[in-house]
């Protein structure tokens, strides 16, 4: 082979290597390509929502390395390419890509690179604040601690908000469960998607993400974005032996907030201390609220709906107000499950949600207002 032919052949080989490197290898759900599927990926998919690009060849949503046929025209400001947000490889970033994060949550590949997040400065940046417990609140074994979550303030509002992701951390020895309920009308009528990780026993953390869709204009202002709920352990005898109470710390960590240009915005984090009383050492105890066995939230809703059950969910059915079936899902085995609202094309109106657990059947009226199609 002549030197010229060798040079040409080598050039083509290097070009092919460059193209493969540039296009990358997608692991479905890892939208920011940092090696792990987590709540931060929701912000990337939410921002790119509705974007169209080249579909992957022989694509699937399985968590396995899948080559990108061609890079998309768009990329996130600090990377990667939008092709990484197309979890199922369909060529359209949509609901199925968001749900893939829930399916593969916590999966890892290669070396995990945690996101580098700007630290908020008190007095200069808005705060994500855990509101105080109600006056006179009394918590003991089995109690539900409900705390408002406030973003920004009159003096320090958020500007051009598009999405936020954070972790609520707690002592897993004292808290048996945790979940988040979104209530954020001030974020605008265009609707938001919210995600939360399914609580893993002993994890001590609840991961949450809230995002607008695609090119939706950013929201500016401040106010309550939801409620954090913590369920105290039913049995505190060993943990509180010899003590009449114990203080637990509830904190917010790893806050990532992005604006309408997907630029990172610094946020001041917060923590709060709550006192738990020993029922065996306390005189004249107020009755502890019972744990809700089934919660459908938010209801009414403008978009995403979650079903939470004290027992594993076996089957879910959705009917319109006339009793006509719209969808059925079974063998779920989860205690937290997202209703696939967007796959069903739900519109504004009333619906009946039927949830079956082991030995019990629940029916809930579900209201959708200005539902995003």
Identify the pLDDT of residue 155.
86
Identify the CATH number of the domain defined by range 294-368.
Answer: 2.60.40.3080
The structural domains of the chain, with segments of one domain joined by +, span 3-103, 128-277, 294-368
pLDDT band at 80 (very low <50, low <70, confident <90, very high): very high
223 neighbors 210 (Cβ within 8 angstroms): no
Identify the pLDDT of residue 22.
43
Kindly report whether the global pTM for this prediction surpasses the value 0.85: no
240 has a pLDDT exceeding 70: no
Instruction: Return phi, psi of residue 90, to 5°.
Output: -75, -15
CA distance 181 to 297: 7
Pairing of strands 205-211, 144-151: unpaired
294-368 shares the fold of 128-277? yes
Identify the CATH number of the domain defined by range 128-277.
Answer: 2.60.40.680
Residue range 200-209, pLDDT digits in tens: 656 899 999 9
CA distance 303 to 312: 24
Identify the pLDDT of residue 242.
62
DSSP string, 113-148: -----PBP-TTTS-BEEEPPPPTT----TT-EEEEE
Identify the pLDDT of residue 98.
94
Q: How far is CA 190 from the centre of its chain?
A: 18
19 has a pLDDT exceeding 50: no
Residue range 317-370, pLDDT digits in tens: 898 877 778 888 887 777 778 887 767 777 788 888 889 888 788 888 888 875
Least confident of 97-111, 123-137, 257-271: 123-137
Least confident of 113-122, 144-153, 275-284, 327-336: 275-284
Least confident of 9-23, 146-160, 229-243, 246-260: 9-23
Look at residues 260, 124, 119, 137 and name the one whose alpha carbon lies nearest to residue 187.
Answer: 260
What's the rounded mean pLDDT across residues 10-16? 34
């Amino acid at each position: 082979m002549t030197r010229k032919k060798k040079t040409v052949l080598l050039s083509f080989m290097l070009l092919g290597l460059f193209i493969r490197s540039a296009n990358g290898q997608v692991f479905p759900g890892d939208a920011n390509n940092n090696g792990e599927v987590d709540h931060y990926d929701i912000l990337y998919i939410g921002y790119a929502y509705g974007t169209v690009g080249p579909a992957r060849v022989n694509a699937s949503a399985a968590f396995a390395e899948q080559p990108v046929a061609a890079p998309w025209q768009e990329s996130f400001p600090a990377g990667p390419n939008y092709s990484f947000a197309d979890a199922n490889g369909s060529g359209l970033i949509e609901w199925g890509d968001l749900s893939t994060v829930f399916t593969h949550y916590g999966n890892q590949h290669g070396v995990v690179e945690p996101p580098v997040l700007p630290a908020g400065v008190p007095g200069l940046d808005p705060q994500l604040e855990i509101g105080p417990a109600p006056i006179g609140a009394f918590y003991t074994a089995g109690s539900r601690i409900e705390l408002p979550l406030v973003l920004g303030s009159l003096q320090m509002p958020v500007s051009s908000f598009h999405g936020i992701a954070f972790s609520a951390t707690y002592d897993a020895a004292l808290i048996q469960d945790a979940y988040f309920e979104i209530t954020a009308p001030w974020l605008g009528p265009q609707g938001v998607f919210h995600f939360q990780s399914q609580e893993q026993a002993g994890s001590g953390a609840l991961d949450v993400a809230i995002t607008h869709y695609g090119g939706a204009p950013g929201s500016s202002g401040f106010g309550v974005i939801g409620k954090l709920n913590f369920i105290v352990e039913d049995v505190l005898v060993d943990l509180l032996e010899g003590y009449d109470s114990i203080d637990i710390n509830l904190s917010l960590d790893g806050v990532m907030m992005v604006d309408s240009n997907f630029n990172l915005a610094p946020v001041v984090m917060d923590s709060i201390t709550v006192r738990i009383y020993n029922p065996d050492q306390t005189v004249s105890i107020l009755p502890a609220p019972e744990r809700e066995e089934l919660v459908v939230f938010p209801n009414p809703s403008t978009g995403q709906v979650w079903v939470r059950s004290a027992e594993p969910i076996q089957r879910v059915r959705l009917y319109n107000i006339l009793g006509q079936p719209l969808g059925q899902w079974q063998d779920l085995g989860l205690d937290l499950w997202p209703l696939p609202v967007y796959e069903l094309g739900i519109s504004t109106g009333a619906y009946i949600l039927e949830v079956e657990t082991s030995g019990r059947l629940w029916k809930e009226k579900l209201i959708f207002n200005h539902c995003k199609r």
